[in-house]
Every structure is written in C-alpha cells, then in structure tokens.
Amino acid sequence: MLKVGVPDAVDRDLHRLLPDGISLELIPLHPTSDVEVEFWIAPPWTRQAEQQLPFLHGLRVIQATVAGVDGLLKLKPPGAVLCDARGVHDISTAEWTVAAILASLKYFPLFGDLQNTAVWSRRKEAEAHYYALHPPVKRPYPNVLCEELHSQQVLIVGYGAIGRAIEQRLEPFGVSFVRVARTPRDGVYGIDQLPTLLPSADIVILIVPFTSETTGMIGVGELSLMKQGALLVNAARGPVVNTDALLAALHEGRISAAIDVTDPEPLPDGHPLWSAPNLLITPHIASSTPMFMVRAMQFAASQIARYLRGEPLENVVTGEY
C-alpha cells in the first residue's frame, strides 16, 4: 500500500479528498522519529520542509503545495521526483493582482490613512499625489482624486497559468494587453523584447517564476524605461526586482508600485520599503485564502491517483521550475 505523508497541521476533513489504496502518515511539523513515506505532500514553507525531510525515508515523490519550489529544489534527495503546484493558486493570486491594481489607482492607501486621521480635507492630497506622478500639461476641472483602469495598457511579464487568470479578470475593465513569456509564441513576446515593451505600458505585472534568469530582471535599466507614472505590480518573488533600484524610482516619483513580495523577506522592521512613497505593500499573502490547502490537496489527490495507476505525474520539475 502506498504510504503518503501529509503535514499533521492539515485539516483532517481534507484527508477525504485523497484516493483509496493509500496509507496516510501524518508528519508532525517537528518530527522526533523516522517515518517510511513514498509520496510526500510537503508543507508550504521551506523551513517546515527542512524540519520534516530528514525523518522521511523511502521518498520517491515530493508534491509541493506551492508553485515556487526553489526552496524544495535545494532539499530534494537524489532519485526523488519533485512536482510543483502550478495552477493551484491561479485564482487567489489573480484576485490579489486585480485588487492591488485597483487599490493603487483609486489611492486606497491614502484614503485609508485619511480615515484613520479623520480629516476630510486631506482628500486634497490625492490631487498632489496624482500630479507628482503625472506632471500635467493642464489641470482638469474638477480635481483629480483617483485614476481609472479603463483604457490602460497592461504588460503581463510571465504569461503562464496565473498570467492568463489575471488577464481574464482584467479584461472586463476595458484594458489592452501585451504578453511576455520566456518562450515567444503567437500573441506572446519573448522576454528579450521586454526593453522595447516597457516604455508604452501603463501597468507592468510581474508573475514570473523565481530562477537564476529572473533574479534581478527588473533593475535600474528596466525601471528607467518605464513610462512616467506607470504602476509596477510584483506578484512573483521579491528578488525579481532589485530593491535599491525600486526604492530610487519610487523616491524620484517616476513610478508607483504594488508588491506582495519583497527582498529581503520577511521585510525587517525599519526597512526603507516600509516608508517608501507611492508604494503599496502586502506581506506575501496573495494565496493565503481559505481555499489554499483545499486546492492543494485536490491537486495532490489527482497526483496520487496518477501515481497509483502508473501514469506520468503533472508539473514535474526538470530544471529550476
């Protein structure tokens, strides 16, 4: 019988999603004894996987519960197959991206601060914020207190499953799309075209995997190519964007940004990103919804069923992702 390891922190009700014909082994977050496990559903956090893995023996398959597996790649024992959870977090990450864009364009961080101070007259600060990012040829009447998403050009950098999910949710807003991926194809530019595409984009969304190729892919040069007042949205990983370059661009008032990931992460107390202007930060929460582990276990169940039938597994990691 196939021995499947599951973190014991996973809701017991979700065990019913797993197929018959297995022996379920509940793995404590801090194991104290060895366990024979052939198929391991890894915990979401690398530090927890580091604590569990030394106690697991007979391991043949590691099924991640997250899409980014750079941490697990470093831990994978020889001979074991690693599968990522690509597709599991499409909905949650796409929703965060749309919310971050709208919150940034509608100046919700500013108006949230206004609510906390209970000073209505501070709404005038929205106009100053707008004109700092978009120097006016002439000032419209009445005052500008927020922006519109409609008619904006959206550049999606990393047009995979999540990129497509983001596009589907943004399409009703009447935006236009430019798509970029590692491999060019019909309707999708190659990553080498990024420098020529950045200057015309109003919103740049980063949703690339974290690899040696994508580390630092947005730096001083790329940020300098962005349109004055453009919005950078990082839903990928923190090191994809050079932090010092981002800070400089924000303080110079050339762009605004919304990020769910940072470099370093977690972001230390007192780090300059906390107080940077024109920046919305959330602490890596995009996929942390009540459906996180439900979808992860559903996918793991389908993988276990394939394994039991002797069929090829999906999302097998063959390189860096």
Residue 286 is predicted with a pLDDT of 97
Q: Which range (24-28, 139-143, 259-263, 282-286) has the least confidence?
A: 139-143
Residue 291 · residue 54 · CB < 8 Å: no
Please state at what angle helix 90-105 crosses helix 108-117, rounded to 10 degrees: 70
Nearest CA-CA partner of 319 in 168, 209, 176, 193: 209
The mean per-residue pLDDT over the stretch 194-199 comes to 98
- φ, ψ for residue 200, nearest 5 deg: -100, -5
Residue 19 is predicted with a pLDDT of 97
User: What amino acid is encoded at 119 in this protein?
Assistant: V
User: What amino acid is encoded at 117 in this protein?
Assistant: T
Which structure tokens are listed for 92? Answer: 């949650």
- φ, ψ for residue 289, nearest 5 deg: -105, 170
Q: How far apart are CA 101 and CA 233, in angstroms?
A: 7
Q: Which whole-number Å values give the CA distances from 43 to 28, 96, 184, in the listed order?
A: 10, 22, 34
> Can the peptide bond before residue 109 be classed as cis, meaning omega within 30 degrees of 0?
no
Residue 272 is predicted with a pLDDT of 98
Domain residues of the chain, as ranges? 2-88+290-309, 90-106+147-281
The answer, as to whether pTM is greater than 0.75, is yes
Q: Place domain 2-88+290-309 in its CATH homologous superfamily.
A: NAD(P)-binding Rossmann-like Domain (3.40.50.720)
Q: How far apart are CA 128 and CA 262, in angstroms?
A: 27
pLDDT at 321 over 80: no
Burial (0-12, 13-18, 19+ Cβ within 10 Å), 87: middle
Per-residue pLDDT band at 140 (split at 50, 70, 90): confident
- φ, ψ for residue 143, nearest 5 deg: -60, 145
Same fold, 2-88+290-309 and 90-106+147-281: yes
Residue 90 is predicted with a pLDDT of 97
Q: What is the pLDDT of residues 165-193, one digit of tens each?
A: 999 999 999 999 999 999 999 999 999 99
- φ, ψ for residue 183, nearest 5 deg: -110, 120
Average pLDDT, the chain: 96
Q: What is the pLDDT of residues 72-125, one digit of tens each?
A: 999 999 999 999 999 999 999 999 999 999 999 999 999 999 999 999 999 999
Residue 40 · residue 34 · CB < 8 Å: no
Q: How far apart are CA 257 and CA 229, in angstroms?
A: 10
Q: What is the pLDDT of residues 199-211, one digit of tens each?
A: 999 999 999 999 9
Select the CATH number that applies to the domain covering 90-106+147-281 from these four: 3.30.420.40, 2.40.128.260, 3.40.50.720, 3.40.50.2300.
3.40.50.720
Residue 232 is predicted with a pLDDT of 99
Q: What is the pLDDT of residues 9-64, one digit of tens each?
A: 999 999 999 999 999 999 998 999 999 999 999 999 999 999 999 999 999 999 99
pLDDT at 139 over 90: no
Active-site residue list = 237, 265, 284
